[in-house]
Structure 1
Amino acid sequence: MSIETRRAALRDLPRIVEIYNTTVASRQVTADTEPVTVESRTAWFNNHSDKRPIFLFLQDGETIGWLSFETFYGRPAYDKTVEVSLYLDEQFRGQGIGQEAVMKMKEIAATLDVTTLLAFVFSHNSRALRLFKNNGFTEYGRLPDIAEMDSEQYSLSILGYKLN
């Protein structure tokens, strides 16, 4: 199965939000506890640039997922480090597309003048942890019980990947 990529445009934001919102209820992927709106994500989208883009994953012209690169910590010394986020439409999960998406993530990152990718993954999200670790990410640290959702505490793993 092969996926294509292209830069996201503002017209793609409703689909980006739709895919994102499919992850909220699971408490596996995002710390948002309620679905977000296109309006609430517009500023986030507009903050992305050529240096910190959002890409879509496409299959037969249909958007099946997306990837974003975001500035880490906002200080100049961290300019070559980015936070990555990867989301797939729920009907395309578990089919090996995540594997291909992480490979594309690395290819795109190599064009962005960055050296380090960081993925912040809930420690109980074993599928995502396995996906990143199987693709060369290593655990840089773990923040224990820093998120609270539905009266439960959740830890966050920080995974990193060094580009050559």
Structure 2
Amino acid sequence: MALNCVVRHAEFEDASVMLDIFRQCDPHSTLANRHNDINLLDVMDWLETITDRHPIFMAEQDQQVIGWCSLEAFYGLPSFDQACEISLYVLPSLQGQGVGKALLEHVIQHRQEIGFLHLVAYIYAGNDNSLRFFKANEFQTWGKLPNIARSEERVEDVYLLGREFELLDDSSVMEEEFT
């Protein structure tokens, strides 16, 4: 069953609910409290770095935030400007009900304004729900970083998933500039 939610741009006042959802989405919180080092000031910093190219979107139902999604620069070099790293978090009680799909579709529908041709997601190997979600939404496994994530006494792989998009007809501006 898909929930009816509204997707909007994040505001500075969303920081505390973003942190709460972020912490609830850690599939290994009982093992290591992996995200305890992320605090409200960190989330406020994230919100201060929002740009048109790297937005944060909030999903709301009945004026309650139920999920969020951010786009960040991938790798930080100009040659990667048409790629964004995507992070997506939905309240655990509402996962599988279309909230993540609504956020992802919003991002994809606005890809021309945002300016990306590739989305990349880093996902812990043990996060089966996230792996299934992205693969169901046409992301492919582009790589595996073995034993890269460490918390307490657990070592975990991280998968790199990605999706490439076609250049939209209205995006041929770059070609015109160089001819």
Q: Given the two structures, how large is their TM-score scaled by the length of structure 1?
A: 0.89
Q: Deviations over 1:2-22 (max 9, x none)?
A: 221110011111111111111
Query: Structure 1 residues 34, 25: CA separation in 2 closer, same or farther (over 3 Å shift)?
Result: farther
> Is this contact kept in 1: 2:27–2:127, CA < 8 A?
no
Structure whose residues are more often helix by fraction: 2
Q: Deviations over 1:103-130 (max 9, x none)?
A: 2232233431110000101122121111
Instruction: Give 2:62's aligned amino acid.
Output: D
Structure 2 match to 1:22: 24
Structure 1 match to 2:101: 99
User: What stretches of structure 1 move > 3 A for 4+ residues in a row?
Assistant: none
Q: Deviations over 1:36-56 (max 9, x none)?
A: 221232222211211110010
> Is this contact kept in 2: 1:120–1:157, CA < 8 A?
yes
> Is this contact kept in 1: 2:140–2:163, CA < 8 A?
yes
CA-based RMSD? 2.0
Q: How far, CA to CA, are the matches of 1:148 and 1:117 in structure 2?
A: 25
Following superposition, the deviation at residue 90 of structure 1 comes to: 2.2
Following superposition, the deviation at residue 63 of structure 1 comes to: 0.7
Higher Cα Rg, which structure: 2
Q: How far, CA to CA, are the matches of 1:143 and 1:27 in structure 2?
A: 21
Structure 2 match to 1:89: 91
Tell me the matched-pair count.
162
Structure 1 match to 2:79: 77
Q: How far, CA to CA, are the matches of 1:67 and 1:10 in structure 2?
A: 15
Q: Given the two structures, how large is their TM-score scaled by the length of structure 2?
A: 0.82
Q: How far, CA to CA, are the matches of 1:77 and 1:32 in structure 2?
A: 32
Q: How far, CA to CA, are the matches of 1:100 and 1:41 in structure 2?
A: 22
* Structure 2 counterpart SS, 1:51: coil
Q: How far, CA to CA, are the matches of 1:82 and 1:25 in structure 2?
A: 24
- Structure 1: gaps (5+ residues): none
Following superposition, the deviation at residue 27 of structure 1 comes to: 4.8
Query: Structure 1 residues 126, 25: CA separation in 2 closer, same or farther (over 3 Å shift)?
Result: closer
Q: Deviations over 1:38-94 (max 9, x none)?
A: 123222221121111001011122110000000011110011100000001222123
Following superposition, the deviation at residue 35 of structure 1 comes to: 5.4
